[in-house]
Amino acid sequence: MKIFVARLPGTPVFDPAGDQIGRVRDIVAGLRIGRRPAVHGFVVEMQPRRAVFLPITRVRGIEAGSVVFTGRLNMRRFEQRATETLVIGQMLDLRVHLGEQPMTVYDVAMAETKPSTWEIAKVALYKGRRREPRIVDWEEVSGFDTLQKDQGAAGLIAAFESLRAADMASALHDLPSKRRVEIAAALNDTRLADVLEELPPDDQIGILGTLAPERAADVLEEMGPDDAADLLHDLPEDKAAELLALMEPDEAEPVRRLLTYPEDSAGGVMTSEPVVLPPSASVADALAHLRQQDLTPAVAAQVYVTRPPTETPSGAYLGVAHFQRLLREPPSTLLGGVIDPSITPIRPEFTLRQVTYYLANYNLLAAPVVDELGRLVGAVTVDDVLDHLLPEDWRERADDRDD
C-alpha cells in the first residue's frame, strides 16, 4: 500500500471512539544512510492551535479520507528533532538528481513494509517548466541531504491549498525560518495577507522584512485595515511611513486613521469596514451584503444604518439592524424600520476594558464606534477584543495551555 503524502494535509484524524480530534498537518520522517527514510508519525493540528505528534505505530488505518489511531495521544506540543524531517514542509520542492539529471520533488509516497512500519518508498519528480512527472524509487534519487539556498515552495503550497489561513499560519510558524521565507515569497498577495493576519507579531515582522517594499505595501493593502494598522504599529516609524507611502491612497487612508488612535482603545482595535447601509436600503439588500464570503461571523452579525455617505467616517449614525431581526422581516422592509434603538454606540477613546464590559452587558458580537460628530467610524468585534486582551504571544502559547 502506497500513499502520496501531498494529499494528506487537512485529512481528519479520528480517535478509537470515532471522534475527530484534529487534522493532519505534516509527516515526520528520519533520513537514514543507505536506507529508505523511516516514517515516524504525523503532526496533527488540534484546536486551539495545538500541534501534537501521532506515532505511526498507533495508526490503524489511512483510508477514505481519514486517519484512525488507537491508544492514547500525548498532548504535549510537537517539537521537531534535529534528526527528523518534515516531509511536506521540507522535502517538497527540493532540487535533487535522478542520475545526472537535475529534477524537482513535487511529492513522495510512503509505503507500509510490515504492520505499523512505514518508509518513504517513491519520489515523484518533474524537470523544467513543463512538469512532466516521473515516479521513481527512493534509491534512484540523490540530494535529499543537501541544504539549498532557494528551495522553492510550489509543491508545499499546493499541498496546503485546502487549509484555512489559521492552519497554514500554524504550519508556517513551526518551519525553519529559511523555509518560511521561501513559502511567503511564493504565496500570492491575498493568501499571504490572510496568513500574516494569523501569525504572531514577530513572524509578521520577520516575513514582511524579507519582501521588497513595493510588495510589502501590496500585501498590506490586502489585509484588513485594522490588521494592517496593528502590524505597522509594531514596525519602526520610518519603515511604517515608507510602506504607507507606497500603498494606494484609498487603501492607506483608513489605515492612517486607525493609527491615530491608541492601540488599547476602541479606535485602535476596531475595523473600519463594517457593513454599512442607508435607511432606504431593504432587508433583502442587507442580507445580500451579509452573505459576502470574506466577512467574519462577528462582522456579519449586524448592519449599521447611517445617512449617506456609507463609507466610514459615514454620515449621521442612525442605529444597528441585527442579523436575526433581518431574517424575521419581509425582504422588502426598509432598514430604517428595523433599527434596534436600545444599542448606544461607543466612542473611539473607550478603553478595551470598557469595550469588554459593553459587549458582555449587551451580549453583543460587535459594537458601533461613533465619533464626536455622530459619524460611524468603525465597529469593534469580540474577536478584535480577545486578540488584544490575550498575551502578545498567545498564538504561540496556545499549544502549551492546560486542558
> So what's the pLDDT on residue 122?
96
* Mean pLDDT for all residues in the chain: 90
- 9-21 mean pLDDT: 93
> So what's the pLDDT on residue 399?
43
Give pLDDT tens digits for 156-167: 888 888 788 888
Q: Which domains does the chain have, with CATH numbers?
A: 2-142 (no CATH), 154-263 (1.25.60.10), 276-388 (3.10.580.10)
> So what's the pLDDT on residue 159?
85
**Residue 104 β-bridge partners:** 95, 126
With contact defined as beta carbons under 8 Å apart, do 28 and 43 qualify? yes
- Whether the per-residue pLDDT at 401 is higher than 50: the answer is no
> So what's the pLDDT on residue 149?
64
Which residue has 458582555 as its cell numbers?
360
> So what's the pLDDT on residue 55?
96
Give pLDDT tens digits for 45-56: 987 678 999 999
> So what's the pLDDT on residue 171?
85
- Whether the per-residue pLDDT at 381 is higher than 80: the answer is yes
For 13, the 3-state DSSP assignment is strand
- Whether the per-residue pLDDT at 394 is higher than 60: the answer is no
- From the list 375, 233, 382, the residue with the least C-alpha distance to 309 is 375
Burial label for 127, CB within 10 Å (0-12, 13-18, 19+), is middle
CA distance 321 to 286: 9
> So what's the pLDDT on residue 245?
97
- Whether the per-residue pLDDT at 147 is higher than 70: the answer is no
**Residue 51 β-bridge partners:** 45
CA distance 384 to 386: 6
- Please indicate whether residue 240 or residue 151 has the higher confidence score (pLDDT): 240
Give pLDDT tens digits for 305-357: 999 999 999 999 999 999 999 999 999 999 999 999 888 999 999 999 999 99
Give pLDDT tens digits for 258-312: 999 998 899 999 999 999 999 999 999 999 999 998 888 999 999 999 999 999 9
- Whether the per-residue pLDDT at 396 is higher than 70: the answer is no
Side chain identity, residue 11:
T
- From the list 44, 37, 71, 47, the residue with the least C-alpha distance to 57 is 71
**Backbone phi, then psi, for 50, in 5-degree steps?**
-115, 115
Q: Which residues contact 205 (CB under 8 A, 6 or more apart)?
A: 231, 234, 235
**Backbone phi, then psi, for 63, in 5-degree steps?**
-165, 165
Confidence bin at 175 (pLDDT 50/70/90): confident
Give pLDDT tens digits for 205-258: 999 999 999 999 999 999 999 999 999 999 999 999 999 999 999 999 999 999
- From the list 34, 50, 146, the residue with the least C-alpha distance to 95 is 146
CA distance 161 to 183: 12
- Whether the per-residue pLDDT at 37 is higher than 80: the answer is yes
Count of C-beta atoms within a 10 Å radius of residue 63: 9
CA distance 24 to 11: 5
Give pLDDT tens digits for 60-104: 999 878 999 999 888 888 989 888 999 999 999 999 999 989 999
